[in-house]
Amino acid sequence: MRITFPASHERIGAVRIHEAGRIIELDSAGDRCEADARADHAFLSSEVLESAHRRLTVVVPIKNERRSTLRGVLAGIPGGCRVVVVSASEPQPIDRFGLEREVIDDFVSRTGRHVLHVHQRDAIVAAAFEQSMPELLDGAGLVKWGKGEAMLVGAMIAREFDSDAVGFIDADNYVPGAVNEYVRIFSATIASMKSEYTMGRISWQSKPKVDEGSLVFNRWGRSTTVSNQVLNEVLSHYLGEGTRIITTGNAGEHVVSMPLAGRLRFTGSFGAETGQFIDLMEQYGGIIPPIGDVPERVDVIQTETINPHFHEDKGEEHVAIMRDQSVATITDSPICPPHVAEAYRTEVPVPDRYPAFEARPAIDLERLEKGGAGDVER
Ligand code: GDD
């Protein structure tokens, strides 16, 4: 695989946000070749990628998606990666969680892969987390609903698997080949990182939509356009000059090295992705006093894919909720300059933010096993 090195980066405190790199070649033959020596791109051999896949856990949050789409997503995740599917699918009127389980069992029995399938609202999951992250539980004693909450559940499970990194892939992707590319980029990012505190974010080449019978290859989605703009305005304020470097404000597909994942304060619901930028700037941006020690460098590597991103279109109302939650997460931050907060203030409740899990006790993985939650390696 060959990926161009980012041409430049913006720096805020210890955080370097790199301009998006591009894919030159998805799969490169041989260990080495003439072009390896060139300084403009990274070369990742199949061996390097495969070994990185084995150190990666991929978390798939899912809520009421089609079985065929989930089957495609699982098929696209490279062999070697562990998979954790965190579901919030409804049991009524159709048992969608049961349908997912059928797809997963079939995949596991044919491939011998390790896939853990848990339901976010299962009492067994709540019991496994109650010591380690009680903040995740609601009044009913269950893990709260929300995509960001599912991601935190998955990340903490990945830590128990001793993975070097945790990646996130949405379950509503129609193109298994794109999923495969995203995870290859995750592994390439982790295999070539310069700081153990690294995050890799996928910048979609395009997000096509059908418009009056034609396929339109939009560069950005409807929510991403706004959240990128707001994040870049916050960043520009502190840089003292305009920047448009952030192209992955809403990147559901991203990877985080485990040391960084453990220090991040995850944001719930659809504030999850913009919340990561905000948390990095709050903790390591040198803007407000840090809450702990600050690593020498924290890298945000953005990579533009070669595949377009085709996913389920859930309608305008859904996009508006996502956009508002993403933006509210930014405007609620103490680092958001007043003029930006004023310009983009929304009415939605601000998504919850959770403490870092690095210093928290291990989750009770055995309890998840006992609940028959899925195939945990024994
Ligand atoms: N477990 C769980 N719990 N999964 C959820 C939940 C939840 O409460 N809500 C959504 N999901 C799953 C969906 O099934 C899908 O696989 C993925 O999370 C993304 O959710 P969508 O509702 O499909 O969002 P999108 O693809 O339109 O939105 C984009 O922007 C969001 C806001 O930043 C994506 O990039 C999202 O990943 C991103 O969070």
Helix axes 316-331, 222-239, angle to 10 degrees: 20
CA-nearest residue, atom 6 of ligand 1 = 147
Distance CA 316, CA 224 (A): 14
Supply φ then ψ for residue 226, to 5 degrees. -75, -45
pLDDT in tens, 311-351: 777 778 888 999 999 999 999 999 999 999 999 999 999 99
Residue 375 has pLDDT above 70, yes or no: no
pLDDT in tens, 271-309: 999 999 999 999 999 999 999 999 999 999 999 999 988
Backbone Cα Rg of the chain: 20
pLDDT in tens, 220-277: 666 778 999 999 999 999 999 999 999 999 999 999 999 999 999 999 999 999 999 9
pLDDT of residue 374: 45
Mean pLDDT of 93-100: 92
Query: What atom in ligand 1 is closest to the CA of residue 170?
Result: 16
Pairing of strands 207-211, 214-218: antiparallel
Q: How confident is the model at residue 310 (pLDDT cuts 50, 70, 90)?
A: confident
pLDDT of residue 101: 94
pLDDT in tens, 119-160: 999 999 999 999 999 999 999 999 999 999 999 999 999 999
pLDDT of residue 29: 78
pLDDT of residue 316: 83
The residue to mutate among 60, 63, 182, having the most atoms of ligand 1 within 8 angstroms of its beta carbon, is 63
Q: Helices in the chain by DSSP H: which ranges?
A: 46-53, 67-76, 96-111, 123-129, 147-160, 176-191, 222-239, 258-263, 272-284, 316-331, 338-344, 365-370
DSSP assignments along 50-78, one per residue: HHHHTTEEEEEEESS--HHHHHHHHHHSP
The residue to mutate among 147, 267, 329, having the most atoms of ligand 1 within 8 angstroms of its beta carbon, is 147
Its pTM surpasses 0.75? yes
Residue 100 has pLDDT above 50, yes or no: yes
> Quick check: CB of 87 below 6 Å from ligand 1?
yes
Structure tokens at 205: 């080449």
The residue to mutate among 144, 170, 201, 324, having the most atoms of ligand 1 within 8 angstroms of its beta carbon, is 170
Query: What atom in ligand 1 is closest to the CA of residue 311?
Result: 26
Mean pLDDT of 43-68: 96
Q: Enter the DSSP assignment of 20.
A: P
Domains in the chain, start-ordered, CATH in brackets? 2-370 (3.90.550.10)
pLDDT in tens, 1-33: 999 999 899 999 999 999 999 999 999 876 565
> Quick check: CB of 118 below 6 Å from ligand 1?
no
Taking CA 256 as the corner, what is the angle to CA 136 and CA 40, rounded to the nearest 5 degrees?
160
pLDDT in tens, 196-207: 999 999 998 777
Q: Please give the distance, rounded to the nearest whole angstrom, from the Cα atom of residue 90 to the centre of ligand 1.
A: 15
pLDDT of residue 72: 98
